[in-house]
Amino acid sequence: MGLIVQKFGGTSVANAERLRNVARIIADTYRKGNRVVAVLSAQGDTTDELIEKAKEINPNASKREMDMLLSTGEQISCSLCAMAIETMGLPVVSLTGWQAGVQTNSSYSSARIKKIQVERIQSELDRSNSIVIVTGFQGINKFGDITTLGRGGSDTSAVALAAALKADLCQIYTDVEGIYTADPRHVKGAKKLDEITFDEMLELASLGAQVLHNRSVEMAKKYRVNLEVLSSFANKPGTKVKEVAKQMEKTQISGVAKDKNVARLALVGVEDRPGIAYKVFSLLGQNDINVDIILQSIGRNDTQDISFTVKRSDVDKAKEILEGHKSSLRFEHIDVNKNMVKVSIVGAGMLDNAGVAATMFGALYDADINIHMISTSEIKISVLLDEADTDSAVQAIHDRFFGE
Amino acid sequence: MGLIVQKFGGTSVANAERLRNVARIIADTYRKGNRVVAVLSAQGDTTDELIEKAKEINPNASKREMDMLLSTGEQISCSLCAMAIETMGLPVVSLTGWQAGVQTNSSYSSARIKKIQVERIQSELDRSNSIVIVTGFQGINKFGDITTLGRGGSDTSAVALAAALKADLCQIYTDVEGIYTADPRHVKGAKKLDEITFDEMLELASLGAQVLHNRSVEMAKKYRVNLEVLSSFANKPGTKVKEVAKQMEKTQISGVAKDKNVARLALVGVEDRPGIAYKVFSLLGQNDINVDIILQSIGRNDTQDISFTVKRSDVDKAKEILEGHKSSLRFEHIDVNKNMVKVSIVGAGMLDNAGVAATMFGALYDADINIHMISTSEIKISVLLDEADTDSAVQAIHDRFFGE
């Protein structure tokens, strides 16, 4: 008995049959005595079709008009879902982003939510006892124009609404059954987690396990919104995302993740004098290139090597920028390797247990896999490997921590 | 040089190519130094497709949710049209009904415009010097919910905006080149009119010549909005609709129209006593059946016949109602004829010229066509004929008034 915000993604509402399924999930939750606010994405390919239509007219359309166009997608799925709930004889109303009071800044196509004026939703919940269906992904700016929230937008809408309405739970329905110890499509023995902490979830998401967008998890953490990730196709509990999760039995880590969007640059033969590393990374930062793992070799013969990883899409630009400053940076040459992968283990209990790193490295050693770079944080250990080793590395690490 | 409201229907914006054409018309008008507000319908079959989607989910969906769904159609066409204008390097902004300040009552699916708050449009026109594209057919009610205006809605939106903005001209772009003296697809020698009065236009529309919906013409007449009906496919002047039109040379009428949605009922052998006609027509009125032409025969042998026409869809219901009161109405039997047509001539100058009726009847007599009933108003003469005579009657009348 409480207020539950439920979010359904594009796959979950792709056609009439699936919309009816979503309507049933919402209706069941309501019939159990809960108040329900459901946040929907656009149906399946609707957004892509609309983008296609726009491109045919104007490949460089303004973001303001793109948002005007794309926001129709959720309006369609929400009104259709409300109609499906009407057939069950339950009170329901669909609301657009502006009707739901979702106020954003004016960054069209990637707007941030500033505030949610919940009066309209609250009145529908309280006075009419209605189920409220809200368009995800969109809001309104101070000019009265429609904005969209960009990637992960509907998850963010749901969490923001849950926070603003002080909901008891925010359920993110998706096409997987929860958060797994590794990608179940590629790793044998991958297990669904019952619980995970916000921080672990954030690390997993940033490491390429894209079930929830980081933006929504960060917001959930900030406003202490209880999240649950579960499948709209299976009637089962999913994974709860909380501030503090119960410690998993016998394991210190909650998952293994991989990220192939990574490339390594190495400045070879850099003159060993102060300030070079600072100069390299501030140059890249000025050009909006994020650096992830950094390895500075110990100097010998008055030169050293500086290696670091960037996103694959940034690597050519990074190389060009550094080549352009070769005379002031004074290095011999730049070595680039695009065929790398970052494999990481994540776990809130890791900090207290030095054995975790040893276990991970041992698993890789036994599998004959070479480690190029290592990076650690409070709840994460990442290693940079050859891309060809990805699957065997993830499986080996997963077997060592989660195997029988 | 002035403020022009241009309305483009669903056929005119059906695909990318036609949207580009509409964008060109708008841009040309703007480049001539005019300020332009364009009102668009949904693209071609969009509305029908959305209705189909809704029916699949819920054939009895609430009108509120249907309006929420259908209003996306114009939002799509308007944002796409704005994108097309962007490619021409002109300032442009698209606005939904609620953004444009179109306030309606709460009759979902057939809302009436109550007021237009023009501040947003006016500011886009004045401050940004922008072309403004507004979604036709829709508005917002006092609850902040989206409403649609029903049949003829986009024409009505355009005229209402022209009235509120005190526009110099409201151009209704459609797929015909203007208003004709008769339907050019069926009548040889049909001519496009340069001008027509509001009243003539209203009669023509109600007689089945559906170029403009009566609702929009009535509003244009009330607020003295200068209308022009023209084609988005031909770069030619259309027909101007005004309070007082220049008298047509040599002709007193502006057009010949037909209406096949008509059936005749005859109460035969009604006892000749006062109040029977009143009783018949109040019974029908109570049941929402509109009666058009009425003919009460002169009594003989203490009985008379009462004939009248109704819409074809109402005829069976009308008969059933009257049969149900046979004992109190006291008639012999009811005669029904569904194969009738109403052919009419319309002209503002008609009242002053008794010869017009004679000319019309003479044309029908010469063509050997039998007249069943006659009805006249200040600017219209209608005759009820056998449906089989439709084409030859319209042609004969047209030839007599407009022929060489």
Condensed to tens digits (0 to 9), the pLDDT of residues A354-395 reads 678 888 888 999 999 998 888 877 788 889 999 999 999 999
Question: In A, which residues are within 8 Å of B43 by CB distance?
Answer: none
Q: Nearest 5°: phi and psi at B163?
A: -65, -50
Decide if A94 and B58 are in contact by the 8 Å CB cutoff. Answer: no
A211/A251 Cα distance (integer angstroms)? 22
User: Helix A315-324 and helix A276-286: axis angle, to 10°?
Assistant: 130
Provide the mean pLDDT of chain B: 90
Domains defined along chain B, listed by start = 3-175 (3.40.1160.10)
Looking at residue B249, what is its pLDDT? 45
The pTM of the full predicted model, rounded to 2 decimals, is 0.81
pLDDT tens for B356-378 read: 888 888 899 999 999 888 887 77
Quickly list H helices, A253-334: 276-286, 315-324, 326-329
Looking at residue B251, what is its pLDDT? 54
- Our CA dihedral for B151, B152, B158, B161, rounded to 10 degrees, sits at -50
Mean pLDDT (whole number) for B315-329: 91
Min Cα–Cα distance to chain A from B146, Å: 10
Among B57, B71, B94, the residue with its CB nearest the CB of A68 is B94
pLDDT tens for A257-309 read: 899 999 999 988 888 777 787 888 888 888 888 888 888 776 666 788 888 99
Mean pLDDT (whole number) for A198-220: 81
Q: Chain A residue with minimal CA distance to B133? A: A65
A320/A336 Cα distance (integer angstroms)? 12
Decide if A66 and B79 are in contact by the 8 Å CB cutoff. Answer: yes
Provide the mean pLDDT of chain A: 90
Q: For residue B175, is pLDDT > 90? A: no
Using CA atoms, how far residue A50 sits from A67, A81, B93, B194, in Å, is 11, 20, 18, 41
A204/A208 Cα distance (integer angstroms)? 7
Question: In A, which residues are within 8 Å of B53 by CB distance?
Answer: 16, 76, 80
B386/B125 Cα distance (integer angstroms)? 54
Looking at residue B87, what is its pLDDT? 97
The per-residue DSSP string of B272-335 comes to --TTHHHHHHHHHHHTT-----EEEPPPBTTEEEEEEEE-GGGHHHHHHHHHHTHHHH--SEEE
Q: Chain A residues within 8 A (CB-CB) of chain B?
A: 16, 19-20, 50, 53-54, 56-58, 60-62, 64-66, 68-69, 71-72, 75-76, 78-80, 82-84, 86-87, 93-94, 96, 98-99, 120, 144-146
Mean pLDDT (whole number) for A149-166: 92
Q: For residue B176, is pLDDT > 90? A: no
Provide the pairing of β-strand B340-346 with B333-337. Answer: unpaired
pLDDT tens for A13-28 read: 999 999 999 999 999 9
pLDDT bracket for residue B248 (50, 70, 90): very low
Q: For residue B60, is pLDDT > 60? A: yes
Question: In B, which residues are within 8 Å of A62 by CB distance?
Answer: 82-83, 86
A386/B360 Cα distance (integer angstroms)? 93
Q: Chain A residue with minimal CA distance to B123? A: A143
Decide if A16 and B53 are in contact by the 8 Å CB cutoff. Answer: yes
Q: For residue B250, is pLDDT > 60? A: no
Min Cα–Cα distance to chain A from B73, Å: 8
Looking at residue A289, what is its pLDDT? 87
Lowest-confidence region among A143-147, A188-192, A292-296, B306-310: A292-296
Question: In B, which residues are within 8 Å of A83 by CB distance?
Answer: 54, 57-58, 61-62, 65-66, 69
Counting one residue from A and one from B, how many pairs have CB atoms under 8 Å apart? Answer: 107
Q: Count CA atoms closer than 13 A to B191's CA, side-chain side.
A: 16
CB within 8 A of A112, min separation 6: which ones? A104, A105, A149
Mean pLDDT (whole number) for B72-93: 98
**Residue that wins the pLDDT comparison between A276 and B98:** B98
Which residue type occupies B227? L
Provide the pairing of β-strand A239-242 with A227-231. Answer: antiparallel
Decide if B57 and A94 are in contact by the 8 Å CB cutoff. Answer: no
Among B16, B65, B72, the residue with its CB nearest the CB of A72 is B72
Q: Which residues of A67-104 are buried (b: 16+ CB within 10 A; e: fewer)?
A: bbbbbbbbbbbbbbbbbbbbebebebbbbbbbbbbbbb
- Proportion of chain B above pLDDT 90, given as a percent: 59
CB within 8 A of B224, min separation 6: which ones? B243
Positive/negative CA dihedral, B281, B284, B285, B290: negative
Q: Chain B residue with minimal CA distance to A67? A: B79
Strand residues in A213-332 grouped as ranges (E): 227-231, 239-242, 255-259, 263-271, 294-296, 303-310
Q: For residue A252, is pLDDT > 80? A: no
pLDDT bracket for residue A249 (50, 70, 90): very low
Closest to A394 in 3D by CA, of A375, A377, A369: A369
Looking at residue B185, what is its pLDDT? 82
Residue identified by tokens 């192939």 is A260
Looking at residue A181, what is its pLDDT? 87
pLDDT tens for A298-329 read: 666 678 888 899 999 899 999 999 999 988 88
Q: Chain A residue with minimal CA distance to B56? A: A16
A180/A166 Cα distance (integer angstroms)? 28
Which of A375-389, B18-32, B138-152, B231-245 is most confident?
B18-32
Largest CA distance in chain B: 81
Decide if A58 and B94 are in contact by the 8 Å CB cutoff. Answer: no
Positive/negative CA dihedral, A212, A215, A221, A224: negative
Min Cα–Cα distance to chain B from A65, Å: 5
Burial of A274 (0-12, 13-18, 19+ CB in 10 A): exposed
Mean pLDDT (whole number) for A176-201: 87
Q: Which residues of A346-376 are buried (b: 16+ CB within 10 A; e: fewer)?
A: bbbbbeeeeebeebbbebbeeeebebbbebe
Task: Decide: helix, strand or coil at residue A401.
Answer: helix
Decide if A56 and B16 are in contact by the 8 Å CB cutoff. Answer: yes
Residue identified by tokens 């500033």 is A114
Residue B48, Cβ neighbours under 10 Å: how many?
Answer: 12
Closest to B7 in 3D by CA, of B32, B41, B34, B31: B41
Looking at the DSSP bridge assignments, the partners of residue A287 are none
B290/A338 Cα distance (integer angstroms)? 78
User: Helix B355-366 and helix B390-402: axis angle, to 10°?
Assistant: 130
pLDDT bracket for residue A248 (50, 70, 90): very low
* Tokens, residue A58: 């104007």
B154/B134 Cα distance (integer angstroms)? 10
Closest to B383 in 3D by CA, of B400, B402, B364, B398: B364
Which residue type occupies B374? I
B316/B265 Cα distance (integer angstroms)? 10
Rounded to 5°, the CA angle B216-B220-B221 comes to 120
Among B20, B61, B86, the residue with its CB nearest the CB of A61 is B86
Looking at residue A274, what is its pLDDT? 73
CB within 8 A of B244, min separation 6: which ones? B197
ipTM over cut 0.85: no
pLDDT bracket for residue B132 (50, 70, 90): very high
pLDDT tens for A103-132 read: 999 999 999 999 999 999 999 999 889 999
Looking at residue A208, what is its pLDDT? 61
Looking at residue B215, what is its pLDDT? 86
User: From its phi and psi, is residue B274 left (phi > 0), alpha (psi between -120 and 50) or beta?
Assistant: beta
Among A62, A76, A96, the residue with its CB nearest the CB of B86 is A62
